[in-house]
């Protein structure tokens, strides 16, 4: 007896995880917010620039683990020339490509801002989306601390233009050289391992010192059971917490301490308020995850 043909599956309207629809009220609020930010940035002399949502994958600074697939974290495809192209995951890498291509014709230093959606091929979660908006401002071609001070002032003025009163926000500052020094101190030479370490540090606010400690070691399993492979640094003794890590620094010679212990010790030091670098009385706190 012939089987009855299966009914075609009915399409169900559903939104992919990590994405969100936006209605009129949210769109209007976003427009008003963006215009206020734009006014402040242009008052400081920053000019707008717009780059495409897609770039060549290698221009985004992602490591390619093999010849077939680009690194996870970005949405990618191959064009008809077999070149890998990815949706941008931030607005900084496209700016670097734009400046490199137009360097001779741009003013120096080059001060610009841009806003737009960016895309992350990561596991969605509370407050973590696959598509979200960023608003960036950068000064390219100046080594003066005045450029950093200007950024702090502009960030503070932007907060207040958006209705956040002084004293209700903190401007977090850092210098990438701090983490470069940490890399030298713990003796990491492999770029891929250092990238994993940087990503672990970036999760300090969200996961706390314990979560970062796991990601610097063998890895971490989240609440859903998914496992993220760690950086593989030598682990400090588990019974030592943050206080124990600092004690290790006092009790043991620097070369003999586990790399993870030395890194966490450096993070602990960097989180102390830097009271000597205030700008217009706006609060600042050094934050290694901002580098």
3-class secondary-structure state, position 78: strand
Domain of 93 in residue numbering reads as 24-169
What residues have CB less than 8 Å from 173, skipping those under 6 apart? 148, 152, 274, 277, 284, 285, 286, 287, 290
- How many residues comprise the chain? 291
Residues 127 and 210 in one domain: no
pLDDT (0 to 100) of residue 239 = 37
- Are 200 and 214 within 8 A, CB to CB? no
Q: Is the pTM of this model over 0.75?
A: no
Is residue 260 in a domain?
yes
Strand partners, 134: 116
Look at residue 1 in the predicted model and tell me its pLDDT.
Answer: 59
Same domain, 208 and 232: yes
- From residue 241, give the alpha-carbon distance in Å to each of 7, 136, 201, 224, 238: 59, 36, 17, 25, 7
Tokens of 58: 């290698």
Q: What is the pLDDT of residue 67?
A: 43
Same domain, 33 and 161: yes
Find how far residue 65's CA is from the centre of its chain: 20
- 147 and 194 both lie in a single domain: no
Residue 276 maps to a domain: no
Cα 35–chain centre separation: 24
Same-domain status, 145 and 185: no
Asked if residue 41 is part of any domain, the answer here is: yes
Number of folded domains that form the chain: 2
Say if residue 129 is in the same domain as residue 216: no
- Structural domain contains residue 185: yes
End-to-end CA distance of the chain: 69
Q: Do residues 208 and 237 both lie within one domain?
A: yes
Q: What is the mean pLDDT, run by run of 10 residues, along the chain of 291 residues?
A: 73 91 96 97 97 90 49 82 90 94 94 95 86 95 91 95 93 82 86 86 84 88 82 58 40 49 53 36 43 43
The pLDDT value given to residue 71? 53
Q: Which of 135, 169, 203 is the last residue of a domain?
A: 169
Q: What is the pLDDT of residue 200?
A: 86
pLDDT score of 245: 36
């Amino acid at each position: 007896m012939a089987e009855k043909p299966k009914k075609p599956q009915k399409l169900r309207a559903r939104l992919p995880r990590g994405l969100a629809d936006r209605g009129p009220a949210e769109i209007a609020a976003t427009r008003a917010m963006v215009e206020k930010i734009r006014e402040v940035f242009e008052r400081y002399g920053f000019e707008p620039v717009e780059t495409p949502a897609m770039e060549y994958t290698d221009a985004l600074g992602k490591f390619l683990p093999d010849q077939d697939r680009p690194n996870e974290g970005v949405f990618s495809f191959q064009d008809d020339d077999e070149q890998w192209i990815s949706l941008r995951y931030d607005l900084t890498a496209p700016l670097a490509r734009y400046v490199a291509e137009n360097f001779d014709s741009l003013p120096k230093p080059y001060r610009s801002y841009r806003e737009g959606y960016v895309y992350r091929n990561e596991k969605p979660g509370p407050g973590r989306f696959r598509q979200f908006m960023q608003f960036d401002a950068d000064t390219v071609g100046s080594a003066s601390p005045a450029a950093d001070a200007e950024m702090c002032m502009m960030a503070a003025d932007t907060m207040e233009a958006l209705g956040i009163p002084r004293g209700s926000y903190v401007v977090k500052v850092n210098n990438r050289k701090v983490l470069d020094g940490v890399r030298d101190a713990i003796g990491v030479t492999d770029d891929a391992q250092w990238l994993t370490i940087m990503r672990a540090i970036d999760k300090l606010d969200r996961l706390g010192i314990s979560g970062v400690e796991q990601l610097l070691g063998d890895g971490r399993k989240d609440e859903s059971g998914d496992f993220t492979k760690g950086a593989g640094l030598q682990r400090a003794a588990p019974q030592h917490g943050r206080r124990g890590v600092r004690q290790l620094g006092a009790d043991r010679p620097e070369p003999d301490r586990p790399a993870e212990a030395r890194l966490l010790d450096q993070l602990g030091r960097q989180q102390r308020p830097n009271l000597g670098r205030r700008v217009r009385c706006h609060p600042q706190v050094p934050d290694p995850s901002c580098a």
